[in-house]
């Protein structure tokens, strides 16, 4: 389908022809992928060059470099419902990059060597979630040797935005539906395993190739767990309350009183309550840390902030109220997107690339 993945697939082939004709030193070429609205930190490319040159000859060609992507370029104009997603998505990506033990995927804007891109055959035009898909593809086709390494200087971009409040919320919904189609990467992972196993068995270094395959397949479970956390768990948790309420209502209507349905739910309520408390504590710290992150990129955010945003305490209070009021709606919508994507993967062979509108220039504050 048309979109970023197909654009990259075409551009990579065109660039490769240009570099070969121009007789460039291909081993020194590093590619950077970016969304049209991404704004890199002024030090990003200096840091990228330093990381590339200081990494060993073999390892540098198996690296993908990722900076934290913060969706705050139009932060001052974001509706509260969109703001909730901005906080959680930005902090999730930042947390993964800051944790040395985290399983990482490239996201939105990233860099990798030309050698790695050529090794895996470039980008696949058929897969909408181009960034995560490229990370999984590099991992599989390098037999687990490729890694995503952080460059801790922030890249900022826009969230979807339209002319009206409702239009902006609808644009964010359109984007969420497209992002949820990353669910299809489960099928890609399992589709590639038998092909890679077959390839490993035909190599001259039979035992070593098989060892590399099984090592990759074993570590690949961690990638699947990360995908489950992003897609499956969020989809289940977001709709858990609604499903539980419907189940309880059905059981009360269909079961007799001597089945003690109310007693069953009262005895099993501990785990959901514990999950709610722990989630609330984590959300509190996320909202606090986001204020600190915002202060680091404040001079790069478009428009003038409201007066209360100049006070960190009032700024945090505004965000906390947005989470309490709009958070349940946001996560329910996210869960619906994921369930819809899972259904599409099960019954469809192709997907529509829906484009969410973003501002092309600074829009005047109301």
**Residue-by-residue DSSP string for 208-257:** HHHHHHHHHHHHHHHHHHHHIIIIIIHHHHHHHHHHHHHHHHHHHHHS-G
Q: Which of 38-47, 71-80, 129-138, 231-240 has the lowest mean pLDDT?
A: 231-240
DSSP letters for 81-142: HHHHHHHHHHHHHHHHHH-TTS-----SSEEEEHHHHHHTTS--TT-S-HHHHHHHHHHHHT
Question: What does the pLDDT look like over 14-69, one tens digit per residue?
Answer: 999 999 888 888 989 999 999 989 999 999 999 999 999 999 888 999 999 999 99
Question: What does the pLDDT look like over 59-93, one tens digit per residue?
Answer: 999 999 999 999 999 999 999 999 999 999 999 99
Counting residues of the chain whose pLDDT is more than 70, the rounded percentage is: 98
pLDDT band for position 365 (cuts 50, 70, 90): very low
Task: Note the pLDDT of residue 361.
Answer: 56
More confident residue, 46 or 260: 46
Task: Note the pLDDT of residue 342.
Answer: 87
Question: What does the pLDDT look like over 285-300, one tens digit per residue?
Answer: 999 999 999 999 999 9
Beta carbons of 136 and 53 less than 8 angstroms apart = no
Torsion angle of alpha carbons 265, 271, 273, 276, nearest 10°? -130
Instruction: Determine the average pLDDT of the residues in 340-348.
Output: 85
Q: Which of 131-145, 191-205, 287-301 has the lowest mean pLDDT?
A: 191-205
Is the confidence at residue 268, as pLDDT, over 50? Answer: yes
pLDDT band for position 98 (cuts 50, 70, 90): very high
Tokens of 131: 């960034």
The structure's pTM equals: 0.88
Task: Note the pLDDT of residue 1.
Answer: 63
- Mean pLDDT value across the chain: 89
Bridging pattern class, strands 110-113 and 147-150: unpaired
Task: Note the pLDDT of residue 171.
Answer: 92
Instruction: Determine the average pLDDT of the residues in 88-117.
Output: 93
Is the confidence at residue 134, as pLDDT, over 50? Answer: yes
Task: Note the pLDDT of residue 16.
Answer: 93
Counting residues of the chain whose pLDDT is more than 90, the rounded percentage is: 57
Tokens of 291: 């204020």
More confident residue, 262 or 295: 295
């Amino acid at each position: 389908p048309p979109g970023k993945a197909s654009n990259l697939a075409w551009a990579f082939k065109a660039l490769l022809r240009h570099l070969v004709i121009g007789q460039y030193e291909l081993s020194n070429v590093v590619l950077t992928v970016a969304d049209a609205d991404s704004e890199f930190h002024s030090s990003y490319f200096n840091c990228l060059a330093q990381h590339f040159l200081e990494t060993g000859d073999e390892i540098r060609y198996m690296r993908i470099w990722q900076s934290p992507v913060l969706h705050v370029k139009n932060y001052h104009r974001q509706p509260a419902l969109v703001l909730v997603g901005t906080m959680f998505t930005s902090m999730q990506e930042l947390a993964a990059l800051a944790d040395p033990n985290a399983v990482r995927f490239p996201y939105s804007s990233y860099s990798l060597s030309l050698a790695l891109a050529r090794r895996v055959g470039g980008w696949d035009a058929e897969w909408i979630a181009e960034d995560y898909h490229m990370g999984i593809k590099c991992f599989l086709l390098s037999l687990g040797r490729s890694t995503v390494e952080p460059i801790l200087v922030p890249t900022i971009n826009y969230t979807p935005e339209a002319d009206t409040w409702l239009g902006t919320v609808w644009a964010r919904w359109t984007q969420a539906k497209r992002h949820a189609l990353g669910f299809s990467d489960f099928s890609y992972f399992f589709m590639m395993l038998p092909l890679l196993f077959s390839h490993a068995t035909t190599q001259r270094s039979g035992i070593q190739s098989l060892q590399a395959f099984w090592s990759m397949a074993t570590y690949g479970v961690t990638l699947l767990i990360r995908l489950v956390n992003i897609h499956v768990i969020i989809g289940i948790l977001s709709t858990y309350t609604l499903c539980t309420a419907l189940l309880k209502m059905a059981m009360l209507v269909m079961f007799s009183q001597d089945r003690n349905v109310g007693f069953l739910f009262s005895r099993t309520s501990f785990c959901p309550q514990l999950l709610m408390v722990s989630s609330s504590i984590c959300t509190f710290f996320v909202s606090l840390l986001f204020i600190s992150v915002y202060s680091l990129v404040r001079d790069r955010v478009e428009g003038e902030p409201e007066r209360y945003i100049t006070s960190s305490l009032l700024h945090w209070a505004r965000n906390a109220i947005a989470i309490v009021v709009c958070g349940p709606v946001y996560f329910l919508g996210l869960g619906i997107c994921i369930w819809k994507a899972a259904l599409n993967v099960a019954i469809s062979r192709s997907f529509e690339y829906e484009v969410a509108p973003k501002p092309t220039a600074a829009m005047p504050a109301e």
